[in-house]
Chain A
Amino acid sequence: MRSKADLKRLPFTTKKELVEDQKQFPPYGQNHTFSVDKYIRYHQTSGTTGKPIKILDTEESWNWWAECWVKVCRSAGITEQDIVFLAFHFGPFIGFWAAYEGAKKAGALVFPGGGQTSEQRLNNIIENKATVLMCTPSYALHLAEVAKQRNIDIKNSSIKTIITAGEPGGSIPSVRQQIESLWGAKLFDHVGMTEMGAYGYSCSEQNGLHVNEEEFILEVINPETGEPVQEGERGELVLTNLGRLGYPLVRYRTGDMVIYSEKACPCGNPYHFLPGGIIGRADDMVVIRGINIFPQSIEAIVREFKEIDEFRIVYYTQNHMDQIKVQVEGEGIDTAQLEKRLRERIGLRIDVEQVSQGTLPRFEMKSRRVVDQRER
């Protein structure tokens, strides 16, 4: 390989191949370079889109994960003066395990918030004067909801920084602003994948994500043709990790949709900048009445309504036609105004249905706010 252009001579790697590999060579497949005795960590993917993939890390690979997370922490300004509270269950999902290691390496005091109720977590944040909260964006909103119910003042708490991961909400401006307003803190987003690594993070500009190009090679392709997209075009993010010899991935099709741009971020970080961050998942997109719908585009509009505590997107069939509705929970929601905004911005009539408080599920980890009831 003499330049990045030579990378094109290598084939893509897909999630389907990894799943097939594990099926054919159980339990871990053949992409684990070393024998099992060399590995020290077990993780699995969330299984949102199928059977979870089992992934092991060696000591070296795990240190690499932590180093990648140190960059995320540094970008958010975390120092040894900080107390980082991780509102995470510490199960087999890698998410905040790596964050825990990274924050520790960055010199902060880390507080593992596993095995606790939301109220216990809030109390621990207040009592221990935590300055940084790490959790999914959904859970940051849920904690705020619980705090409101219990009269716990989080807006004036010691939390000054929030780092979100596990879901794309942290890079959706309306979601970010809502979390920042509820917590009185600045939000930084992080993006990573169990099978790939902790590859990106937001900066002080808060308008997109930087890909850590010391440890990952980035390409953005047209998902149909596999060819690179042009400036300003939407495409699928393809990554190669460079420091995880125990579980390498070369030209991995992440399924994350991004906008390709060569423009530099005003923050000065030279790493490749993805304006707007992850704008959707290739496998989340549905076509309703000829229009491409990404759930994130709907969430961005829904979150502009501060009265909405929770929501759910439902795809269904009516008179042999695919339809879409949004169920919302909260007091004093102007559903007509929300319908209007959805129609204007998505270009499709989307019904809004108000449901009773407490009807819709809440999520600690990856949220599942889409229900597909369409007839096949």
Chain B
Amino acid sequence: MAYSVIGNHYIPFSDRPTKQQLEQLQIHKLNQMLTFLLQYNRFYQKKVRGDQTAFAVKSGFKTVTLYHQEGIG
């Protein structure tokens, strides 16, 4: 059986994530990261909050369902 390497595990190709699932995961991680950075990272606090394109990061964002329990850390 052919395998793909996802999340450091060999996973059958039939279980591979879709593009949409990958994007969900990315957005989940990005929101977590941005929330944290805007609290603690001075470089991005200045860069993002001081920028005209500043955005509001909402707290309490939804946690997406991960596509493969084992596969994603």
Instruction: Judge: A and B partners, yes or no.
Output: yes
On A, residues with C-beta under 8 Å from B are 1-4, 6-7, 9-11, 13, 17, 21, 29-31, 33-34, 67, 70-71, 74-75, 213-214, 217, 240, 242-243, 245, 248, 250, 267-271
Complex interface residues of chain B between 31 and 48 (CB less than 8 A to chain A): 31, 33-34, 36-37, 40-44, 46-48
- A7→B48 contact, CB < 8 A: no
A74 touches which of B8, B13, B51 (Cβ 8 Å): B8
The minimal Cβ–Cβ distance linking B37 to chain A, given in whole angstroms, is 6
Would you give the shortest CB distance from A219 to chain B, in whole angstroms?
A: 12
Partner of B26, one of A30, A242, A245: A242
8 Å CB contact of A67 from B4, B26, B73: B73
Main secondary structure of the interface of A (DSSP, over half): loop
> Is the pair A270, B5 in contact by a Cβ cutoff of 8 Å?
no
**CB <8 Å contact, A7 and B43:** no
Apart from A1-B57, A67-B73, A270-B4, what 11 extra A-B contacts exist at CB < 8 Å?
A: A2-B27, A4-B23, A7-B30, A10-B53, A21-B43, A33-B37, A70-B8, A74-B5, A243-B29, A250-B48, A270-B6
Q: List chain A residues, Cβ under 8 A from B40.
A: 33-34
Q: Which residue in chain B gives the minimum CB-CB distance to A216?
A: B26
A153 to B20, CA, bound (A): 49
Take A31-B41, A74-B10 as given contacts and tell me if A1 and B30 are in contact as well, using a CB distance cutoff of 8 Å.
Answer: yes
> For B19, what are the chain A residues with a Cβ–Cβ distance below 8 Å?
270
Residues of B within 8 A of A245 (CB): 33, 36-37
Contact assessment for B43 and A269 in the assembled complex, using a CB-CB cutoff below 8 Å: no
Whether A9 pairs with B36 at a CB distance below 8 angstroms is no
| B-side contacts of A31, CB under 8 Å | 41, 43-44
Q: Which of B1-32 contact A (CB under 8 A)?
A: 2, 4-8, 10, 13, 16-19, 22-23, 25-27, 29-31
Query: Please, which residues of chain A bring their CB within 8 A of the CB of B23?
Result: 3-4
**Residue on A nearest B45 in the bound complex, by CB:** A30
- Cβ of B18 and Cβ of A270 under 8 Å apart? yes
Interchain Cβ contacts under 8 Å between A and B, 7 examples:
A7-B30, A11-B51, A34-B40, A67-B8, A67-B73, A242-B30, A243-B29
Inter-subunit contact B7/A214 (CB<8 Å)? yes
